[in-house]
Amino acid sequence: MLTAIQKKTAEAIVNIFETGSVLGDYGNVTLIKGDTGHLTFGRSQTTLGSGNLYKLLRSYCALPAARFGAELTPFLKRFEDIDLSLDHEKHLHNILRASVDDAAMRDAQDVFFDQTYWKVAERVAEHLGITIPLGVAVIYDSTVHGSAQPIRDKTNQKAGTLESLGERKWIAAYVQTRHDWLINHTRRDLRATVYRMEAFKRLIDLDLWALELPLLVREQEISTVTLSAAPAGCYDGPKPGSRPLALQTPLLRGLDVRLVQLGLSKLGGDVKADGVFGQGSLAAVKAYQTTHNLRVTGALDKAQIIQLVG
């Protein structure tokens, strides 16, 4: 069994691979050309195409405390049916981004990724006889990224079994086999993810089998400090209407900005609900003011903010 900190470290490595963040980007919405998963969302990225994004959203919407449950529930049937037109529903994408300011969504994601990927990886590692923390992290990464079983079989055929090689040599061989499989893959998007195996090879070269902290993975620090920090890009304030909103330096960030962006998006505005009032938000506010015969300033006062947030 891994310790709690070793488990968090293994999860952090995969979070970095998936979203570039130690704790994962709970609000990350991604579409990669050629990706059979299509619309992808969440801390460790789960997809429309696999059906798992439906399962995550269903579990969230079932929570009494789900702040965005009413907005997401009408989409659930389409997620269940793997309706690929959801790839292009920009307002839906903004609802997903905004939902991460709800602690219930972050909790739902933690439970979902633990049950759907981590526990599966634990069972696979146990079946294979892998107990070393770095080895479990490698299996977890393959569980999230896909194709764990074919790579296991290729490794056994090319290098030998775990019983014949020993655990460390087999894990190193597995990483090399997966590296070669990725770099020669016919899909460009998968070839681009070979960095995952390069990062694992670096940890193996440094003999960091126990995942001792601190670690540096793809220029991201994994330490007790970063593992205990608040998730990036999640806001619990300021309250909408508590301040005017406009483009300024430094850029305004927060819950009020995100909810205004979501309101603009609902009205058809071309804006990303990232919680940062930048040039895109300025243009969307000006378009809104023009459409509603308001003075076009690009700034929002309390009354306009409350109207947009609802």
pLDDT in tens, 46-67: 999 999 999 999 999 999 999 9
Determine the Cα–Cα distance for residues 153 and 171; give it in Å rounded to an integer. Answer: 13
pTM listed for this prediction: 0.86
* Predicted confidence pLDDT, tens digits, the chain (310 residues): 799 999 999 999 999 999 899 999 999 999 988 788 899 999 888 999 999 999 999 999 999 999 999 999 999 999 999 999 999 999 999 999 999 999 999 999 999 999 999 999 999 999 999 999 999 999 999 999 988 999 999 999 999 999 999 999 999 999 999 999 999 999 898 999 999 999 999 999 999 999 999 999 999 999 999 999 988 889 999 999 999 999 999 999 999 999 999 999 999 999 999 999 999 999 999 999 999 999 999 999 999 999 999 8
The number of C-alpha atoms within 13 Å of 47 and in the hemisphere containing its C-beta is 13
Residue type, 6: Q
**pLDDT number for residue 34:** 77
Instruction: Tell me how crowded residue 297 is: count the other CB atoms within 10 A of its CB.
Output: 13
Instruction: Tell me how crowded residue 36 is: count the other CB atoms within 10 A of its CB.
Output: 12
Determine the Cα–Cα distance for residues 29 and 213; give it in Å rounded to an integer. Answer: 30
Phi-psi region of 51 (alpha: psi -120 to 50; beta: other; left: phi over 0): left
Exposure string over 201-216, b if 16+ CB within 10 A, otherwise e: eebbeeeebebebebe
Q: How far is CA 197 from CA 38, 154, 178, 202, in A?
A: 23, 16, 7, 9
